[in-house]
Amino acid sequence: MTAPGNSKASRAPAALTVALMLALAGCSPGQSPAPSSPGSNSASTSPSNATTGTSSPSSGDSALHPFDQAVLEQTFSEAARELRVPGAVMLLRTPGGNLTRTYGVRSIGGSDPVTPEDHVRIGSITKTWTATVILQLVQEGRIKLDDPVADYRSDVPNGANITIEQLLTMRSGLYNYTEALAVNQVLDSDPGKTWNTDELLAVAFRNPPYFPPGEGFHYSNTNTVILGLIAEALDRKPLAAAFRDRLFKPLGLTGSVFPERASNDIPAPHPQGYMFGTNVLTLDDRALPEDMQKAAADGTLQPTDQTAMNPSWGWAAGAGISTAEDLATWAEALGGGKVLGPDLQKLRLDSLQPVKADDPGGALYGLGIAKFGNLFGHTGELPGFNSFAGYDPGNKVTLVVWTNLAPTPDGRDPATAIARTLIGKLYR
């Protein structure tokens, strides 16, 4: 599996990274390497209806392996240990059995185990919430996918030639404000700062676009911030209220939160979130310098606690908070059509296109949704937290993984790496 592209958006932790999400999207199940570290260091296990059996789905691109609880538990624990995360949670639902597994602790040096009930920052999975609200507004006839952005936001450069669809599919060409050095410097020096959207968009709009609208792909948080502002204007309510009324309440997502801009709180219970290095240090290359990687490996370099960082710099693109159970419910709704009508759901799933035009078998991204092998969903990362949520509607497989470290010293997104390894064990 190789990540497409080498843009700063793919490498900087402050960019709500998508690199490994896209790498997963373009790989077939079973290609995943096994984790290199043997053994298990699990804090707790809570298998639910974990039975051994076979699955013979009537649809789906790949058949499932027989459900093997022991193999899946060992794979998860070994991968978490190899990645040296303080804590991790996985939640898996399949026709052959369900499994919830935890690994490690909430805080470095502490003894409190992580739990499936813990709340974590979900980063770019928030984009799927924002995109879904926009698509619901499309369904209601209040906006069209081919409408120019200028109809709703006069401040967007070249907005007359950028469509709503291009914002959703990351094909607008607009500069990603989280790639700016100045933004990353502030994230390091003043992590509690409350950002407003005018500040974020000002950074984006004073930088040149990557390409003309529709002539390329570049993952940009700017697109989703604009969509969040449009959603607020059309729905005539704050985005948090739109999420609550349109998504959280109908689906029973009682552990999901879109925080107030000034808030850096995470609801209890929650783990601490950790990061090696700084946003500026990992802006151009997510991997730490070799000497720092060695120091992290031998324990002389410790990660810093990023839990109190104010996520307002991500806003509609990345400020969300959720739990493993809520993420599983959301992934099933997202991939299974519970939040859109059948026609628009089909359009959404059919919208997935190769990120690279010359690599049709590679990574896929669509209307605020990605595809990982057979699973539709998204990943998310903010400094300190990484999460993966996906659902395979053909085989009825749901997988959620989160970690309280992001990224790893060698630049990997640990939850996504664990999910990739598990997917290799699930499918033939």
What confidence score (pLDDT) does residue 28 get? Answer: 31
Dmax (CA) for the chain in angstroms is 58
Residues paired with residue 359 on neighbouring β-strands, in sequence order: none
* Band (362; pLDDT cuts 50, 70, 90): confident
Domains recognised in the chain with CATH numbers: 8-426 (3.40.710.10)
Instruction: Quote the DSSP letter at residue 151.
Output: G
Sign of the dihedral through C-alpha 29, 30, 35, 39: positive
pLDDT digits (tens, 9 = 90+) for 2-13: 333 333 333 344
The per-residue pLDDT of the chain, averaged, comes to 88
Question: What whole-number distance in Å separates Cα of residue 338 and Cα of residue 358?
Answer: 34
* Band (359; pLDDT cuts 50, 70, 90): confident
| Cα–Cα distance list, 178 to 5, 12, 175, 185, 302 (Å) | 17, 8, 9, 11, 25
What confidence score (pLDDT) does residue 15 get? Answer: 39
pLDDT digits (tens, 9 = 90+) for 186-235: 999 999 999 999 999 999 999 999 999 999 999 999 999 999 999 999 99
Mean pLDDT over 242-247 rounds to 98
What confidence score (pLDDT) does residue 136 get? Answer: 98
pTM summary value: 0.89
Question: What whole-number distance in Å separates Cα of residue 172 and Cα of residue 185?
Answer: 26
In residues, how long is the chain?
Answer: 428
Mean pLDDT over 72-88 rounds to 98
What confidence score (pLDDT) does residue 2 get? Answer: 30
* Band (61; pLDDT cuts 50, 70, 90): low
Lowest-confidence pick of 40-49, 260-269, 270-279:
40-49
If one compares 3 and 300, the residue with the highest pLDDT of the two is 300
Q: Among 378, 375, 342, 311, which Cα is nearest to 168's? A: 378
Question: What whole-number distance in Å separates Cα of residue 177 and Cα of residue 220?
Answer: 8
pLDDT digits (tens, 9 = 90+) for 144-163: 999 999 999 999 999 999 99
| Cα–Cα distance list, 162 to 2, 28, 172, 220 (Å) | 30, 33, 6, 14
pLDDT digits (tens, 9 = 90+) for 10-43: 334 443 444 434 444 433 333 322 222 222 333 3
Mean pLDDT over 347-362 rounds to 88
